[in-house]
Amino acid sequence: MAEDALIVIDMQNDFCPGGALAVEGGDEIVPVVNRLTEQARHVILTQDWHPPGHSSFASSHPGKAPFETITMPYGEQTLWPDHCVQGSAGADFHPGLRWTSAELVVRKGFRTEVDSYSAFFENDHKTPTGLAGYLRERGITKLRLCGLATDYCVAFSALDAVAQGFSASVVLDACRGIDLNGSLAAMMERMRQAGVQIV
């Protein structure tokens, strides 16, 4: 029987109300995520983990404001408020999240020069996090994804999961989106076309 895992994406304080890059209603999904975690055979978490002065921070680019875009060597990059700085309270998991059963925490975005949305690759789409290899070695083939934010880290993780040969579904009740310039509808369509199941 195919082994399956739950991947909980970036349930961190900075992405919840009151945080530096808050997703509206981000904290509302914590009980749903906890229920999914209790039911899952394998649980993996991702954690955005930026060094101070990260290249995706608007503050690293004089004259630029959060949510503007710039061109990086790997393509277009949205600039963000400083968030999920390594060791900060904002980078911690939400205090209500029950995550002690997690077998692995994948930290991403720790390379200063490249951002990372996906649990599988940095935004250059070449530098792997090692998650695909870990899952293959464990014999895990089916993934359920939830967390923050639907249209960024969850969606890019789901798209990469399918591209890497895994079966992937996104549990919408356990996600919240940013919806920057119509990004939510666009990424939902991209996921459907790629074969990600939306449940």
Cβ-proximal residues to 49 (8 Å cutoff; 6+ apart), any chain: 84, 86, 91, 107, 108, 109, 110
List 10, 14, 27, 82, catalytic entry: 10
Alpha carbons 115 and 109: distance in angstroms, whole number: 5
What are the distances in angstroms from CA 191 to CA 11, 20, 181, 198, 199?
21, 27, 17, 8, 12
Residue 195 in this model has a pLDDT that exceeds 80: yes
Residue 131 in this model has a pLDDT that exceeds 50: yes
| Average confidence (pLDDT) over 134-159 | 97
Task: Give the pLDDT score at 54.
Answer: 98
Average per-residue pLDDT in the chain? 96
Residue 141 in this model has a pLDDT that exceeds 80: yes
Q: Could you tell me the pLDDT band of residue 2, with boundaries at 50, 70 and 90?
A: low
Residue 151 is among the residues annotated as catalytic for this protein: no
Which of these, 160, 155, 157, 159, lies nearest to 183 by C-alpha position? 155
Cβ neighbours, 10 Å, residue 192: 11
Alpha carbons 156 and 46: distance in angstroms, whole number: 13
Beta strands in the chain (DSSP E): 3-9, 43-48, 69-72, 75-78, 104-108, 140-148, 167-176, 197-198
The two tokens of residue 20 are: 């530096």
Alpha carbons 50 and 106: distance in angstroms, whole number: 13
Residue 126 is among the residues annotated as catalytic for this protein: no
| Average confidence (pLDDT) over 4-30 | 97
List 82, 153, 160, 175, catalytic entry: 153
| Average confidence (pLDDT) over 82-105 | 97
| Average confidence (pLDDT) over 131-157 | 97
Task: Give the pLDDT score at 41.
Answer: 94
| Average confidence (pLDDT) over 124-132 | 96
Q: Token pair 């666009």 is at which residue?
A: 186
List 14, 27, 48, 108, catalytic entry: 108
125 Rama class: left (phi>0) / alpha (psi -120 to 50) / beta: left
Q: What is the largest CA-CA distance in the chain?
A: 55
39-65 pLDDT tens trace: 999 999 999 999 999 999 999 999 999
Task: Give the pLDDT score at 1.
Answer: 44
Residue 108 is among the residues annotated as catalytic for this protein: yes
Continuous H helices in 57-182: 131-138, 155-163
3-state secondary structure of 40: coil
Return the ∠ at Cα 179 (arms to 175 and 182), rounded to 5°. Answer: 135
